Amino acid sequence: MSSLSTHTPAHPAAVADAAGTDAGTPAATGGASNTSTTASSADLSFAEGLRYVTTQDAPVTPWEAGHKPSLAELREHFGPIFDRIALGASEREAHRVLPFVEIAELNRAGFTVLRVPTEYGGPGVSFTDWVQLLIDLAAADPNIAHQYRSHAGFAETLRYQNEQTREFWYAKVLAGDTVGNASTEVSGNTLNTLNTTLAVQADGTGVLNGAKYYCTGTAYATHTRVSATLLDTDGTPTEGRQFAVVSTRAPGVELEDDWNGFGQSLTGTGTTRFTDVRVAPEHILNRVPGSAEAQFEAPLFQIVLLAVLAGIARNVVNDAAAGVHRRTRSFNTGLGVPHSEDPQILGVVGRLSAQAFVVESAVVEAARRLEAAEGVLSLEDPDAQRLLTEAELAVERAHVTVPSIVTSICSELFLTGGASNTSREKNLDRHWRNAQTVATHNPIVFRERIIGDYLVNGTVPEGLNAIGEVTRAS
Protein backbone atom coordinates (compact mmCIF):
# COMPACT_ATOMS: atom_id res chain seq x y z
CA MET A 1 0.00 0.00 0.00
CA SER A 2 1.16 3.49 -0.79
CA SER A 3 1.55 6.24 1.79
CA LEU A 4 1.78 10.00 1.77
CA SER A 5 5.34 11.26 1.97
CA THR A 6 6.78 14.50 3.27
CA HIS A 7 8.35 15.48 -0.07
CA THR A 8 6.81 16.23 -3.46
CA PRO A 9 7.63 13.51 -5.98
CA ALA A 10 6.95 14.34 -9.59
CA HIS A 11 3.49 13.40 -10.76
CA PRO A 12 3.58 10.37 -13.07
CA ALA A 13 1.99 12.52 -15.77
CA ALA A 14 5.10 14.67 -15.88
CA VAL A 15 7.35 11.76 -16.80
CA ALA A 16 5.07 9.41 -18.73
CA ASP A 17 5.56 8.98 -22.43
CA ALA A 18 3.28 10.53 -24.97
CA ALA A 19 1.22 7.36 -25.38
CA GLY A 20 -0.82 7.99 -22.23
CA THR A 21 0.11 4.71 -20.54
CA ASP A 22 -0.73 3.56 -17.02
CA ALA A 23 2.08 5.68 -15.65
CA GLY A 24 -0.23 8.63 -16.09
CA THR A 25 -1.04 11.25 -18.69
CA PRO A 26 1.42 12.56 -21.27
CA ALA A 27 4.11 14.95 -20.16
CA ALA A 28 3.78 18.69 -20.54
CA THR A 29 5.85 20.47 -23.13
CA GLY A 30 9.44 20.24 -21.97
CA GLY A 31 8.75 17.10 -19.92
CA ALA A 32 8.87 18.78 -16.50
CA SER A 33 6.15 19.05 -13.90
CA ASN A 34 4.67 22.49 -13.36
CA THR A 35 4.84 23.67 -9.76
CA SER A 36 4.67 27.39 -10.38
CA THR A 37 2.17 29.27 -8.23
CA THR A 38 2.58 32.50 -10.20
CA ALA A 39 0.72 31.31 -13.29
CA SER A 40 -2.67 32.86 -14.00
CA SER A 41 -5.68 30.92 -15.24
CA ALA A 42 -6.52 33.87 -17.47
CA ASP A 43 -3.29 33.35 -19.40
CA LEU A 44 -3.96 29.70 -20.25
CA SER A 45 -5.77 28.37 -23.27
CA PHE A 46 -8.02 25.35 -22.80
CA ALA A 47 -5.30 22.96 -23.99
CA GLU A 48 -2.64 24.71 -21.89
CA GLY A 49 -4.89 24.64 -18.85
CA LEU A 50 -5.50 20.91 -19.15
CA ARG A 51 -1.78 20.33 -19.47
CA TYR A 52 -1.08 22.58 -16.48
CA VAL A 53 -3.57 20.98 -14.12
CA THR A 54 -2.63 17.40 -15.08
CA THR A 55 1.14 17.76 -14.75
CA GLN A 56 1.47 18.99 -11.19
CA ASP A 57 3.49 17.38 -8.41
CA ALA A 58 1.84 14.78 -6.21
CA PRO A 59 -0.43 16.03 -3.40
CA VAL A 60 1.22 16.76 -0.06
CA THR A 61 -0.59 17.34 3.23
CA PRO A 62 0.90 18.53 6.54
CA TRP A 63 -0.21 15.46 8.45
CA GLU A 64 1.75 12.32 9.22
CA ALA A 65 0.66 9.19 7.39
CA GLY A 66 -2.17 7.50 9.28
CA HIS A 67 -3.29 10.69 11.02
CA LYS A 68 -6.96 11.52 10.48
CA PRO A 69 -7.21 15.32 10.62
CA SER A 70 -10.08 17.04 12.37
CA LEU A 71 -12.32 19.57 10.67
CA ALA A 72 -10.44 22.33 12.50
CA GLU A 73 -7.13 21.04 11.10
CA LEU A 74 -8.61 20.81 7.62
CA ARG A 75 -9.86 24.38 7.79
CA GLU A 76 -6.53 25.65 9.06
CA HIS A 77 -4.76 23.98 6.13
CA PHE A 78 -7.18 24.81 3.33
CA GLY A 79 -8.65 28.08 4.64
CA PRO A 80 -5.93 30.35 3.18
CA ILE A 81 -6.28 28.64 -0.21
CA PHE A 82 -10.07 29.06 -0.11
CA ASP A 83 -9.57 32.74 0.70
CA ARG A 84 -7.35 33.21 -2.35
CA ILE A 85 -9.85 31.36 -4.52
CA ALA A 86 -12.69 33.56 -3.25
CA LEU A 87 -10.87 36.77 -4.16
CA GLY A 88 -11.00 36.02 -7.88
CA ALA A 89 -14.21 33.98 -8.10
CA SER A 90 -16.54 36.72 -9.33
CA GLU A 91 -14.07 38.04 -11.90
CA ARG A 92 -13.31 34.54 -13.23
CA GLU A 93 -16.99 33.90 -13.71
CA ALA A 94 -17.69 37.30 -15.27
CA HIS A 95 -14.97 36.75 -17.87
CA ARG A 96 -15.33 32.96 -18.13
CA VAL A 97 -11.81 32.13 -16.99
CA LEU A 98 -11.55 28.40 -16.27
CA PRO A 99 -9.85 27.98 -12.84
CA PHE A 100 -7.02 25.64 -13.87
CA VAL A 101 -4.42 27.24 -11.59
CA GLU A 102 -6.73 27.38 -8.58
CA ILE A 103 -7.71 23.72 -8.93
CA ALA A 104 -4.06 22.72 -9.37
CA GLU A 105 -3.18 24.46 -6.10
CA LEU A 106 -5.97 22.64 -4.27
CA ASN A 107 -4.88 19.33 -5.76
CA ARG A 108 -1.27 19.88 -4.66
CA ALA A 109 -2.50 20.75 -1.17
CA GLY A 110 -4.18 17.36 -0.93
CA PHE A 111 -7.86 18.15 -1.45
CA THR A 112 -8.27 15.17 -3.78
CA VAL A 113 -6.82 12.59 -1.37
CA LEU A 114 -8.79 13.44 1.78
CA ARG A 115 -11.16 10.47 1.55
CA VAL A 116 -8.48 7.89 0.77
CA PRO A 117 -8.59 5.50 3.78
CA THR A 118 -5.68 5.53 6.23
CA GLU A 119 -4.96 1.86 5.54
CA TYR A 120 -4.09 2.87 1.96
CA GLY A 121 -1.93 5.81 3.01
CA GLY A 122 -4.54 8.57 2.93
CA PRO A 123 -5.84 10.91 5.64
CA GLY A 124 -9.15 9.02 5.90
CA VAL A 125 -11.12 12.21 6.61
CA SER A 126 -14.66 11.47 7.79
CA PHE A 127 -17.39 11.89 5.22
CA THR A 128 -19.26 14.51 7.26
CA ASP A 129 -16.11 16.59 7.79
CA TRP A 130 -15.35 16.35 4.09
CA VAL A 131 -18.84 17.62 3.19
CA GLN A 132 -18.47 20.55 5.60
CA LEU A 133 -15.11 21.39 4.03
CA LEU A 134 -16.72 21.17 0.59
CA ILE A 135 -19.32 23.72 1.73
CA ASP A 136 -16.46 26.02 2.73
CA LEU A 137 -14.97 25.65 -0.74
CA ALA A 138 -18.33 26.23 -2.42
CA ALA A 139 -18.72 29.45 -0.43
CA ALA A 140 -15.42 30.55 -1.98
CA ASP A 141 -16.22 29.33 -5.51
CA PRO A 142 -19.14 26.98 -6.26
CA ASN A 143 -17.70 26.12 -9.68
CA ILE A 144 -14.54 24.65 -8.20
CA ALA A 145 -16.41 22.74 -5.51
CA HIS A 146 -18.85 21.37 -8.09
CA GLN A 147 -16.18 20.08 -10.46
CA TYR A 148 -14.80 17.84 -7.68
CA ARG A 149 -18.12 15.97 -7.66
CA SER A 150 -16.92 13.45 -10.20
CA HIS A 151 -13.61 12.73 -8.48
CA ALA A 152 -15.44 12.34 -5.17
CA GLY A 153 -17.80 9.79 -6.70
CA PHE A 154 -14.93 7.79 -8.11
CA ALA A 155 -12.93 7.82 -4.87
CA GLU A 156 -15.93 6.77 -2.77
CA THR A 157 -16.94 3.84 -4.97
CA LEU A 158 -13.43 2.37 -4.93
CA ARG A 159 -14.43 0.87 -1.57
CA TYR A 160 -16.72 -1.52 -3.43
CA GLN A 161 -14.01 -2.84 -5.74
CA ASN A 162 -11.72 -5.81 -5.06
CA GLU A 163 -8.48 -5.38 -3.13
CA GLN A 164 -6.27 -5.32 -6.20
CA THR A 165 -8.33 -2.54 -7.77
CA ARG A 166 -8.40 -0.54 -4.55
CA GLU A 167 -4.63 -0.71 -4.12
CA PHE A 168 -4.05 0.23 -7.76
CA TRP A 169 -6.36 3.26 -7.87
CA TYR A 170 -5.81 4.58 -4.35
CA ALA A 171 -2.09 4.67 -5.15
CA LYS A 172 -2.81 6.62 -8.33
CA VAL A 173 -5.02 9.09 -6.46
CA LEU A 174 -2.28 9.60 -3.87
CA ALA A 175 0.17 10.20 -6.72
CA GLY A 176 -2.06 12.98 -8.05
CA ASP A 177 -4.48 11.38 -10.47
CA THR A 178 -7.94 12.91 -10.56
CA VAL A 179 -11.05 11.58 -12.24
CA GLY A 180 -13.83 13.41 -14.06
CA ASN A 181 -17.17 12.08 -15.21
CA ALA A 182 -18.51 11.00 -18.59
CA SER A 183 -21.86 9.30 -18.10
CA THR A 184 -24.67 11.15 -19.85
CA GLU A 185 -25.55 11.01 -23.54
CA VAL A 186 -27.67 13.91 -24.70
CA SER A 187 -29.43 12.20 -27.59
CA GLY A 188 -29.90 8.94 -29.45
CA ASN A 189 -29.99 6.54 -26.51
CA THR A 190 -33.19 5.21 -25.01
CA LEU A 191 -33.85 5.34 -21.27
CA ASN A 192 -31.73 2.83 -19.32
CA THR A 193 -29.42 2.17 -22.29
CA LEU A 194 -26.13 3.62 -23.55
CA ASN A 195 -24.79 4.03 -27.06
CA THR A 196 -21.21 4.33 -25.80
CA THR A 197 -19.63 0.87 -26.05
CA LEU A 198 -16.68 -0.90 -24.49
CA ALA A 199 -15.66 -3.87 -26.61
CA VAL A 200 -13.62 -6.42 -24.66
CA GLN A 201 -10.76 -8.05 -26.55
CA ALA A 202 -9.41 -11.56 -26.06
CA ASP A 203 -6.54 -10.25 -23.90
CA GLY A 204 -8.96 -8.47 -21.52
CA THR A 205 -8.34 -4.97 -22.84
CA GLY A 206 -11.19 -2.84 -24.09
CA VAL A 207 -11.86 -0.48 -26.96
CA LEU A 208 -14.07 2.49 -26.08
CA ASN A 209 -16.25 4.41 -28.55
CA GLY A 210 -18.91 7.03 -27.96
CA ALA A 211 -19.67 10.61 -26.94
CA LYS A 212 -20.78 12.12 -23.63
CA TYR A 213 -22.03 15.48 -22.42
CA TYR A 214 -22.27 16.98 -18.89
CA CYS A 215 -18.74 15.70 -18.31
CA THR A 216 -18.27 17.66 -15.08
CA GLY A 217 -14.67 17.98 -13.95
CA THR A 218 -13.20 16.19 -16.95
CA ALA A 219 -11.57 19.39 -18.25
CA TYR A 220 -9.48 19.53 -15.04
CA ALA A 221 -8.79 15.82 -14.52
CA THR A 222 -6.07 13.39 -15.51
CA HIS A 223 -8.74 10.74 -16.18
CA THR A 224 -12.45 10.48 -16.77
CA ARG A 225 -14.76 7.64 -15.79
CA VAL A 226 -16.91 6.63 -18.75
CA SER A 227 -20.11 4.61 -18.44
CA ALA A 228 -20.53 2.23 -21.34
CA THR A 229 -22.38 -0.80 -22.59
CA LEU A 230 -20.03 -3.78 -22.39
CA LEU A 231 -19.67 -5.83 -25.56
CA ASP A 232 -18.51 -9.43 -25.28
CA THR A 233 -15.72 -10.76 -27.48
CA ASP A 234 -18.34 -11.63 -30.09
CA GLY A 235 -19.78 -8.09 -29.98
CA THR A 236 -22.90 -9.00 -28.00
CA PRO A 237 -24.10 -6.27 -25.57
CA THR A 238 -24.42 -7.27 -21.92
CA GLU A 239 -26.98 -5.98 -19.43
CA GLY A 240 -26.24 -3.01 -17.21
CA ARG A 241 -23.14 -0.88 -17.67
CA GLN A 242 -19.41 -0.86 -16.99
CA PHE A 243 -16.99 1.93 -16.29
CA ALA A 244 -13.85 2.62 -18.28
CA VAL A 245 -11.38 4.99 -16.59
CA VAL A 246 -9.35 6.60 -19.37
CA SER A 247 -6.71 9.32 -19.55
CA THR A 248 -8.10 12.65 -20.69
CA ARG A 249 -5.05 12.99 -22.95
CA ALA A 250 -5.01 9.49 -24.36
CA PRO A 251 -5.14 8.99 -28.14
CA GLY A 252 -8.75 9.10 -29.30
CA VAL A 253 -10.03 11.30 -26.43
CA GLU A 254 -11.33 14.71 -27.46
CA LEU A 255 -12.52 17.32 -24.94
CA GLU A 256 -14.70 20.28 -25.85
CA ASP A 257 -15.31 23.34 -23.68
CA ASP A 258 -18.89 23.72 -24.89
CA TRP A 259 -20.96 23.83 -21.69
CA ASN A 260 -23.44 26.67 -22.30
CA GLY A 261 -25.53 26.77 -19.13
CA PHE A 262 -26.33 30.20 -17.68
CA GLY A 263 -24.75 29.18 -14.38
CA GLN A 264 -21.88 27.05 -13.06
CA SER A 265 -20.14 27.93 -16.31
CA LEU A 266 -16.65 26.97 -15.11
CA THR A 267 -17.27 23.37 -14.03
CA GLY A 268 -15.80 21.73 -17.14
CA THR A 269 -19.21 20.32 -17.99
CA GLY A 270 -18.77 19.91 -21.74
CA THR A 271 -18.58 17.20 -24.37
CA THR A 272 -16.04 14.38 -24.43
CA ARG A 273 -15.66 12.08 -27.42
CA PHE A 274 -13.99 8.67 -27.52
CA THR A 275 -12.75 7.08 -30.73
CA ASP A 276 -11.16 3.62 -30.49
CA VAL A 277 -9.64 4.43 -27.09
CA ARG A 278 -7.61 1.54 -25.70
CA VAL A 279 -8.52 0.61 -22.12
CA ALA A 280 -6.32 -1.59 -19.93
CA PRO A 281 -8.07 -4.34 -17.90
CA GLU A 282 -7.33 -2.60 -14.58
CA HIS A 283 -9.07 0.50 -15.94
CA ILE A 284 -12.35 -1.39 -16.42
CA LEU A 285 -14.53 -1.32 -13.31
CA ASN A 286 -17.56 -3.49 -12.80
CA ARG A 287 -20.93 -2.05 -11.82
CA VAL A 288 -23.86 -4.19 -10.64
CA PRO A 289 -27.30 -2.51 -10.88
CA GLY A 290 -29.11 -2.42 -7.54
CA SER A 291 -25.96 -3.23 -5.57
CA ALA A 292 -24.86 -1.44 -2.41
CA GLU A 293 -22.41 0.54 -4.54
CA ALA A 294 -25.11 1.73 -6.93
CA GLN A 295 -27.42 2.64 -4.07
CA PHE A 296 -24.73 4.57 -2.20
CA GLU A 297 -23.41 6.44 -5.21
CA ALA A 298 -26.77 7.95 -6.13
CA PRO A 299 -27.21 10.04 -2.94
CA LEU A 300 -23.46 10.68 -2.82
CA PHE A 301 -23.58 12.54 -6.13
CA GLN A 302 -26.62 14.50 -4.94
CA ILE A 303 -25.13 15.56 -1.62
CA VAL A 304 -22.22 17.17 -3.42
CA LEU A 305 -24.74 19.37 -5.23
CA LEU A 306 -26.43 20.15 -1.93
CA ALA A 307 -23.09 21.14 -0.42
CA VAL A 308 -22.53 23.47 -3.36
CA LEU A 309 -25.94 25.06 -2.75
CA ALA A 310 -25.16 25.47 0.95
CA GLY A 311 -21.90 27.21 0.04
CA ILE A 312 -23.72 29.56 -2.34
CA ALA A 313 -26.20 30.44 0.42
CA ARG A 314 -23.38 31.24 2.83
CA ASN A 315 -21.69 33.42 0.23
CA VAL A 316 -24.92 35.33 -0.42
CA VAL A 317 -25.30 36.10 3.27
CA ASN A 318 -21.72 37.33 3.40
CA ASP A 319 -22.31 39.54 0.36
CA ALA A 320 -25.55 40.88 1.82
CA ALA A 321 -23.96 41.76 5.16
CA ALA A 322 -20.91 43.35 3.54
CA GLY A 323 -23.04 45.35 1.12
CA VAL A 324 -25.30 46.71 3.85
CA HIS A 325 -22.31 47.54 6.05
CA ARG A 326 -20.71 49.60 3.27
CA ARG A 327 -23.82 51.33 1.96
CA THR A 328 -24.32 54.94 3.06
CA ARG A 329 -27.23 55.85 0.77
CA SER A 330 -30.85 55.16 1.65
CA PHE A 331 -34.24 55.69 0.04
CA ASN A 332 -36.71 58.55 0.40
CA THR A 333 -39.25 55.99 1.62
CA GLY A 334 -36.92 54.75 4.35
CA LEU A 335 -36.54 55.83 7.95
CA GLY A 336 -33.80 58.36 7.29
CA VAL A 337 -31.12 56.32 9.03
CA PRO A 338 -27.97 54.73 7.57
CA HIS A 339 -28.63 51.47 5.74
CA SER A 340 -26.53 49.61 8.29
CA GLU A 341 -28.88 50.79 11.07
CA ASP A 342 -32.22 50.37 9.31
CA PRO A 343 -34.18 47.69 11.21
CA GLN A 344 -36.02 46.49 8.13
CA ILE A 345 -32.81 45.97 6.15
CA LEU A 346 -31.14 44.33 9.13
CA GLY A 347 -34.15 42.04 9.39
CA VAL A 348 -33.70 40.90 5.80
CA VAL A 349 -30.04 40.07 6.42
CA GLY A 350 -31.00 38.20 9.56
CA ARG A 351 -33.64 36.19 7.72
CA LEU A 352 -31.21 35.25 4.97
CA SER A 353 -28.71 34.11 7.59
CA ALA A 354 -31.33 31.99 9.36
CA GLN A 355 -32.36 30.35 6.10
CA ALA A 356 -28.74 29.62 5.19
CA PHE A 357 -28.28 28.05 8.62
CA VAL A 358 -31.22 25.72 8.03
CA VAL A 359 -29.82 24.78 4.62
CA GLU A 360 -26.38 23.95 5.93
CA SER A 361 -27.81 22.02 8.89
CA ALA A 362 -29.92 19.89 6.57
CA VAL A 363 -26.97 19.12 4.32
CA VAL A 364 -24.69 18.19 7.21
CA GLU A 365 -27.36 15.95 8.72
CA ALA A 366 -27.82 14.20 5.38
CA ALA A 367 -24.05 13.73 5.26
CA ARG A 368 -24.16 12.05 8.66
CA ARG A 369 -26.80 9.62 7.39
CA LEU A 370 -24.61 8.80 4.39
CA GLU A 371 -21.60 8.35 6.65
CA ALA A 372 -23.60 5.84 8.70
CA ALA A 373 -24.25 3.85 5.51
CA GLU A 374 -20.77 3.99 3.99
CA GLY A 375 -19.74 0.75 5.67
CA VAL A 376 -22.49 -1.17 3.86
CA LEU A 377 -20.57 -3.00 1.15
CA SER A 378 -23.19 -5.63 0.40
CA LEU A 379 -26.91 -6.07 0.95
CA GLU A 380 -26.64 -9.44 2.69
CA ASP A 381 -26.92 -7.91 6.17
CA PRO A 382 -30.62 -7.38 7.05
CA ASP A 383 -29.85 -3.86 8.30
CA ALA A 384 -27.87 -2.91 5.22
CA GLN A 385 -30.84 -1.95 3.05
CA ARG A 386 -32.36 0.06 5.91
CA LEU A 387 -29.18 2.13 6.35
CA LEU A 388 -28.89 2.82 2.63
CA THR A 389 -32.56 3.69 2.33
CA GLU A 390 -32.40 6.07 5.29
CA ALA A 391 -29.38 7.76 3.76
CA GLU A 392 -31.08 8.05 0.38
CA LEU A 393 -34.26 9.48 1.89
CA ALA A 394 -32.31 12.00 3.96
CA VAL A 395 -30.64 13.31 0.81
CA GLU A 396 -33.94 13.25 -1.12
CA ARG A 397 -35.67 15.31 1.60
CA ALA A 398 -32.84 17.81 1.62
CA HIS A 399 -32.99 17.96 -2.17
CA VAL A 400 -36.69 18.82 -2.06
CA THR A 401 -36.23 21.71 0.39
CA VAL A 402 -32.70 23.10 -0.01
CA PRO A 403 -32.83 24.31 -3.66
CA SER A 404 -35.97 26.41 -3.21
CA ILE A 405 -34.61 28.00 -0.03
CA VAL A 406 -31.26 28.80 -1.63
CA THR A 407 -32.72 30.28 -4.83
CA SER A 408 -35.00 32.39 -2.64
CA ILE A 409 -32.00 33.59 -0.62
CA CYS A 410 -30.26 34.52 -3.86
CA SER A 411 -33.27 36.56 -4.99
CA GLU A 412 -33.86 38.28 -1.66
CA LEU A 413 -30.24 39.42 -1.58
CA PHE A 414 -31.44 42.27 -3.82
CA LEU A 415 -33.80 43.48 -1.08
CA THR A 416 -30.76 44.62 0.89
CA GLY A 417 -29.64 47.27 -1.64
CA GLY A 418 -30.70 49.50 -4.45
CA ALA A 419 -30.44 49.36 -8.19
CA SER A 420 -26.66 49.41 -7.92
CA ASN A 421 -26.83 45.80 -6.77
CA THR A 422 -27.85 44.85 -10.31
CA SER A 423 -24.67 46.25 -11.83
CA ARG A 424 -22.60 43.87 -13.89
CA GLU A 425 -19.56 44.95 -11.92
CA LYS A 426 -20.97 43.50 -8.71
CA ASN A 427 -22.06 40.33 -10.55
CA LEU A 428 -24.46 39.43 -7.74
CA ASP A 429 -26.84 37.69 -10.12
CA ARG A 430 -24.26 34.91 -10.46
CA HIS A 431 -25.47 33.50 -7.14
CA TRP A 432 -29.00 32.89 -8.42
CA ARG A 433 -27.79 31.60 -11.80
CA ASN A 434 -25.41 29.18 -10.13
CA ALA A 435 -27.94 28.01 -7.55
CA GLN A 436 -30.66 27.49 -10.15
CA THR A 437 -28.29 25.56 -12.40
CA VAL A 438 -27.31 23.23 -9.57
CA ALA A 439 -30.92 22.84 -8.45
CA THR A 440 -32.04 21.89 -11.95
CA HIS A 441 -29.65 18.94 -12.21
CA ASN A 442 -32.30 16.64 -10.77
CA PRO A 443 -36.00 17.58 -10.97
CA ILE A 444 -37.39 18.15 -7.49
CA VAL A 445 -40.82 16.76 -8.36
CA PHE A 446 -39.27 13.33 -8.93
CA ARG A 447 -37.62 13.52 -5.51
CA GLU A 448 -40.96 14.34 -3.91
CA ARG A 449 -42.54 11.33 -5.60
CA ILE A 450 -39.75 9.01 -4.43
CA ILE A 451 -40.23 10.05 -0.80
CA GLY A 452 -44.00 9.73 -0.98
CA ASP A 453 -43.83 6.35 -2.72
CA TYR A 454 -41.60 5.01 0.04
CA LEU A 455 -43.77 6.34 2.87
CA VAL A 456 -47.06 5.21 1.34
CA ASN A 457 -46.05 2.02 -0.49
CA GLY A 458 -42.68 1.06 0.98
CA THR A 459 -40.97 1.37 -2.41
CA VAL A 460 -37.21 1.45 -1.98
CA PRO A 461 -35.65 4.26 -4.05
CA GLU A 462 -33.87 2.93 -7.11
CA GLY A 463 -32.76 4.76 -10.22
CA LEU A 464 -32.22 3.45 -13.72
CA ASN A 465 -28.85 2.81 -15.33
CA ALA A 466 -28.87 5.77 -17.69
CA ILE A 467 -30.78 8.87 -18.71
CA GLY A 468 -32.33 8.58 -22.16
CA GLU A 469 -35.21 9.01 -24.56
CA VAL A 470 -38.68 7.70 -23.71
CA THR A 471 -41.39 6.93 -26.25
CA ARG A 472 -45.01 7.55 -25.36
CA ALA A 473 -46.89 4.36 -24.48
CA SER A 474 -49.65 3.50 -26.97
Higher-confidence position of 317 and 230: 317
Query: 370-403 pLDDT, tens per residue?
Result: 999 998 988 888 789 999 999 999 999 999 999 9
Cβ atoms of residues 403 and 435 within 8 Å: yes
Tens digits of per-residue pLDDT, 332-369?
677 778 888 999 999 999 999 999 999 999 999 999 99
Instruction: Write the CB contacts of 159 (distance below 8 Å, at least 6 apart in sequence).
Output: 117, 166, 374, 377
Which pLDDT belongs to residue 463?
65
- 3 state SS of 254: strand
In terms of DSSP H, where are the helices of 109-148?
Answer: 127-140, 142-147
pLDDT score of 6 more than 50: no
- Return the H-helix or E-strand segment holding 198: strand 197-200
Render pLDDT for 292-325 as a digit per residue (tens, 0 to 9).
Answer: 998 899 999 999 999 999 999 999 999 999 999 9
- pTM (predicted TM-score): 0.90
* End-to-end CA gap in the chain: 57
Contact 215, 182 (CB under 8 A): yes
At 31-47, the pLDDT tens digits run: 334 444 568 999 999 99
DSSP state, residue 211 = E
